[in-house]
């Protein structure tokens, strides 16, 4: 990522912060940014980052456009970020711009000394840094956490994994998100990065949950369907008619792109739409059935 | 009835304890940095421990709707390895800046060696400079002498006495602290330290002002429900619900609020349930929700 692009990201974040920050908070941020131009900037960054939430407040960014990351790459959604976290990211990015040869040291150092909320802010913003690919060790380490707060920052609404993870790394992230009960609809790039191995892992996990007489994650179908086996197809058809409307919803979403390859999916979606009792699921089914023309002959 | 346990070592407790504490009305805790049963030998283990106090343990507590705050410091049991202790002292300023770190602690005397005194004094200075509360552990052996030396050191360093809580007090040592502006901490702990009944007697004798009660539950035979149980004992002894809430919920918040890192609002029922945050499109499915 060019320094111009990083500088643009900083400008965009600053504009969003300025729209919601108090005058005191803005003053603190300006002073903090200025202080990073002098000696011991990395140490100062650590202190500013630690106190940022207390200085900036905890209001969440509203009406903020997603940050574009380039052609063909999903954007980074920043709406919902805490303003203090946005400030942390601005400070870290600006220090990287000032010391481009040190950007990896700066980012990984910030991860090392940050508390959990600082780490989550950093991990959520990894795509914005110069040479983001070189920060993969930071992402992978964050992914090893059992804290849902940090793990969510990596796995949800974050275009970093789908851009830079190898297939097995991405698959493990999806599966861990399912294990943790996170909604994988918000796992960016899931469809684009789906693969046969991921489908196999999900089919195996569904069998494991059924054997243990435990609930199956209602949205696992999104990860299972794209490259599943015949057993996976059977599961999809079964859960399209499940008692839980959330299963029916996600099974339908997962099956719809596969109706050309499996006409029985189209028939099943059509039949379910006719008998569906849940309003949201019914509306979704009607839309999918209308969109995909492979209906019952 | 809401409770606040201002001294409890949750890292040594199981999730069963969190569940039981939440059910009993414990809304928040302060976990002081301490040792882990045998002395650490490497600086890295302190770093990882401090990181866990501000990271994993805080998250773990949140899963049960309990707000977790901590104090960071070099405890007296690990102050006698001077080279290691000097290394730990260099780490402290960074951790004392973090959100949710509400004081320096737990510091104090154990064997009452000169090394312990050195690092106790240095940390009182640090608390004074940073205007942070200082949680002080009084020794279990030669307690009266240890409390006297503690109070003398507090005076010598010149830290504002209201910033200091002298903990693990009993019938002999509480009167010493009552003569000062320091807060008065008591650990209700089976077989050793204080009991609920004796705590009630002290409250009846000395009142509720600047009194703190905690369980100091750790990896020893201890009970993380001692604060609610003390509340029950107070009720049975005729204290009003307002008085119980004052001692067992409002007092610790008032004390630690001096850090600027905690307030009554922070300890209200869990602020945000993520299943509501994202407009009906719930983040989590069937597992424990993230609450903040």
Judge: B56–A146 Cβ closer than 8 Å, yes or no. Answer: yes
For residue B61, give the chain A residue with the closest CA. A147
Instruction: Measure CB to CB from residue A215 to each of B260, B277, B286 and give the nearest one.
Output: B286
Give the one of B54, B94, B283 whose C-beta lies nearest to A46's C-beta: B94
Burial annotation B203-236 (CB, 10 A radius, 16+ → b, else e) = beeeebebbbbbbbbbeeebbbbbbbbbbebbee
Instruction: Please list the residues that pair with B135 across neighbouring strands.
Output: B105, B165
Cβ proximity of B71 and B33 under 8 Å: yes
Contact assessment for residue A53 and residue A84, using Cβ atoms and an 8 Å cutoff: yes
The model's pLDDT over A164-211, given as tens digits with 9 standing for 90+, comes to 999 999 999 999 999 999 999 999 999 999 999 999 999 999 999 999
pLDDT at B162: 98
Write down the pLDDT at residue A25.
98
Q: Which residues of A36-57 are buried (b: 16+ CB within 10 A; e: fewer)?
A: beeeebbebbbbbbbebbebbb
Q: What is the mean pLDDT of chain A?
A: 95
Report how far residue B283's alpha carbon sits from residue A275's, in angstroms, rounded to the nearest whole number.
Answer: 28
At residue B253, the pLDDT reads 98
Asked if the C-beta of B43 comes within 8 angstroms of chain A's C-beta atoms, the answer is no
Instruction: Give the model's confidence band at B269: pLDDT under 50 very low, under 70 low, under 90 confident, else very high.
Output: low
Residue B284: per-residue pLDDT: 42
Judged by a CB distance cut-off of 8 A, whether residue A47 touches chain B is yes
Give chain B positions within 8 Å (CB) of A80.
277
Task: Check CB contact of A73 with chain B, cutoff 8 Å.
Answer: no
**Would the CB atoms of B260 and A147 count as touching at under 8 Å?**
no
Question: Which strand (E) or helix (H) includes residue A17?
Answer: helix A3-20
Q: Is B58 in CB contact (< 8 Å) with chain A?
A: yes
Size of interface A-B (CB pairs under 8 A): 69
- To the nearest whole Å, the CA of B266 is away from the closest chain A CA by 12
Asked if the model's pLDDT at residue B285 lies above 70, the reply is: no
Span A230-242, pLDDT tens digits: 999 999 999 999 9
For A36-93, how does the pLDDT look when each residue is reduced to its tens digit (9 = 90+)? 998 899 999 999 999 999 999 999 998 789 999 999 999 999 999 999 999 999 999 9
| Cβ pair A178, A151 in contact under 8 A | no
Any residues with CB less than 8 A from the CB of B129 and at least 6 apart, and which?
none
CB A57 within 8 A of CB A86: no
Is B270 in CB contact (< 8 Å) with chain A? no
Q: What is the pLDDT of residue B193?
A: 81
Of B161, B158, B156, the C-alpha closest to B136 is: B161
Task: Classify B238 as helix, strand or coil.
Answer: coil
Token couple for B211: 């009194």
């Amino acid at each position: 990522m060019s320094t111009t692009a990083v500088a643009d990201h900083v400008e965009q974040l600053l504009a969003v912060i300025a729209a919601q920050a108090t005058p005191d908070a803005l003053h603190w941020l300006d002073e903090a940014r200025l202080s990073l131009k002098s000696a011991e900037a990395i140490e100062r960054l650590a202190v500013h980052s630690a106190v940022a939430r207390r200085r900036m407040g905890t209001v969440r960014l509203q009406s903020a456009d997603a940050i574009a990351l380039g052609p063909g790459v999903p954007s980074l959604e920043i709406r919902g970020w805490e303003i203090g976290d946005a400030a942390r990211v601005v400070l870290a990015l600006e220090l990287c711009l000032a010391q481009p040869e040190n950007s990896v040291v700066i980012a990984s150092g910030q991860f090392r000394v940050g508390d959990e909320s600082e780490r989550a802010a950093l991990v959520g913003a990894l795509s914005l840094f110069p040479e983001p690919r070189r920060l993969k060790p930071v992402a992978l380490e964050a992914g090893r956490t059992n804290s849902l707060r940090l793990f969510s920052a990596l796995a949800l609404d974050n275009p970093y994994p789908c851009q830079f993870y190898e297939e097995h790394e991405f698959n493990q992230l999806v599966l861990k998100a399912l294990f943790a009960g996170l909604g994988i609809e918000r796992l960016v790039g899931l469809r684009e990065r789906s693969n046969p191995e991921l489908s196999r892992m999900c089919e195996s996990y569904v069998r494991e949950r059924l054997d243990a007489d435990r609930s199956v994650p209602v949205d696992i179908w999104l990860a299972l369907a794209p490259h599943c086996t015949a057993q996976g197809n059977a599961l999809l058809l079964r859960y399209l008619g499940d008692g839980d409307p959330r299963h029916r919803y996600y099974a339908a979403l997962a099956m719809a792109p596969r109706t050309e390859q499996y006409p029985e999916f189209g028939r099943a979606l059509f039949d379910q739409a006719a008998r569906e009792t849940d309003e949201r699921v019914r509306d979704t089914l009607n839309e999918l059935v209308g969109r995909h023309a492979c209906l019952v002959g | 009835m809401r409770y606040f346990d201002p001294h409890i070592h949750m890292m040594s407790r199981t999730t069963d304890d969190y569940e039981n504490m939440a059910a009993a009305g414990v809304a928040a805790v302060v976990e002081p940095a301490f040792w882990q049963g045998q002395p650490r030998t490497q600086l890295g283990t302190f770093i990882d421990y401090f990181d866990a106090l501000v990271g994993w343990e805080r998250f773990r507590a949140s899963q049960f709707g309990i707000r977790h705050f901590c104090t960071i410091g070099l405890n007296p049991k690990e102050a006698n390895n001077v080279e290691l202790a000097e290394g730990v002292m260099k780490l402290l300023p960074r951790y004392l800046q973090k959100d949710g770190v509400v004081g320096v602690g737990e510091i104090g005397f154990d064997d009452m060696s000169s090394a312990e005194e050195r690092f106790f004094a240095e940390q009182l200075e640090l608390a004074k400079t940073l205007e942070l509360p200082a949680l002080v552990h009084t020794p279990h052996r030669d307690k009266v002498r240890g409390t006297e030396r503690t109070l003398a050191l507090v005076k010598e360093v010149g830290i504002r006495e209201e910033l200091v809580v002298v903990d693990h007090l009993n019938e002999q040592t509480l009167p010493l602290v009552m003569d000062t502006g320091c807060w008065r901490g008591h650990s209700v702990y089976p077989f050793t330290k204080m009991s609920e009944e004796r705590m009630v007697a002290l409250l009846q004798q000395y009142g509720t002002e600047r009194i703190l009660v905690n369980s100091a539950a750790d990896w020893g035979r201890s009970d993380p429900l001692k604060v609610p149980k003390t509340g029950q004992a107070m009720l049975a002894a005729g204290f009003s619900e307002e008085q119980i809430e004052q001692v067992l919920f409002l007092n610790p918040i008032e004390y630690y609020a001096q850090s600027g890192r905690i307030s009554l609002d922070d300890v209200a029922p869990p602020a945000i349930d993520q299943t509501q945050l994202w407009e009906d499109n719930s983040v989590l499915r069937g597992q424990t929700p993230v609450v903040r």
